[in-house]
Amino acid sequence: QVQLVQSGAEVKKPGASVKVSCKASGYTFTGYYMHWVRQAPGQGLEWMGRINPNSGGTNYAQKFQGRVTMTRDTSISTAYMELSRLRSDDTAVYYCARAPGWYDCWGQGTLVTVSS
Amino acid sequence: SYVLTQPPSVSVAPGQTARITCGGNNIGSKSVHWYQQKPGQAPVLVVYDDSDRPSGIPERFSGSNSGNTATLTISRVEAGDEADYYCQVWDSSSDHGVFGGGTKLTVL
């Protein structure tokens, strides 16, 4: 079955970077865009960007331009999202989601806590 | 940037019909997708492409989209339907994903 498994929770200090992984299984990794969505505590869903696992091409939300980098390693069917210069308001659950046009499969989420 | 507007909350008694709206400029020209999210869980797709249901989603969940409003309709609401619901579109003019602010469905 299609599955996305994300890396574990992280605690970071302000100004640091975090890299979250998302390992795909049960389908052809290069056949579907992978998107990243985050959710701050008690807040709604926020689209961060996407990567084409086949070409490596990316689109990022303007809000994160310059701070986010999405990459992939096709040999291990894994997508990555790295967010730099972390601030306290980056504290959130970060999700990867497979996108055949809509998000039909989501990772379990990775809690990133930014605190001094 | 494209904006989707949802009511913050909707309340309905068990067995009744809940309707959750999602407003956007000419949203009828876009494909709208809906997600259900229960506390502490990842979102789950309940309707895609305006009105299609993924396998495993009950027929009680349906969608429509026209003009400036898309609607998720949940018939014969059950206690287990209590959750946050989000609409989502792809804004092709900016190549960005867009989510509505979410609607908390309360089953009275």
DSSP string, chain B: ----B--SEEEE-TTS-EEEEEE-TTGGGS--EEEEE-TTS--EEEEBTTTB--TTS-TTEEEEEETTEEEEEE-S--GGG-EEEEEEEEETTTTEEEE---EEEEE-
Among the partner residues A44, A59, A101, nearest to B96 by beta-carbon distance: A59
Over range B77-85, report the average pLDDT. 98
Over range A32-51, report the average pLDDT. 98
Of B25, B27, B103, B44, residue with least CA distance to A109 = B44
What is the distance in angstroms between the Cα of B33 and the nearest Cα belonging to chain A?
Answer: 7
Give the pLDDT confidence score for residue B72 in this predicted structure: 98
Among the partner residues B42, B48, B100, nearest to A106 by beta-carbon distance: B42
What confidence tier does B6 reach under pLDDT thresholds 50, 70, 90?
very high
Of B86, B62, B30, residue with least CA distance to A44 = B86
What confidence tier does A65 reach under pLDDT thresholds 50, 70, 90?
very high
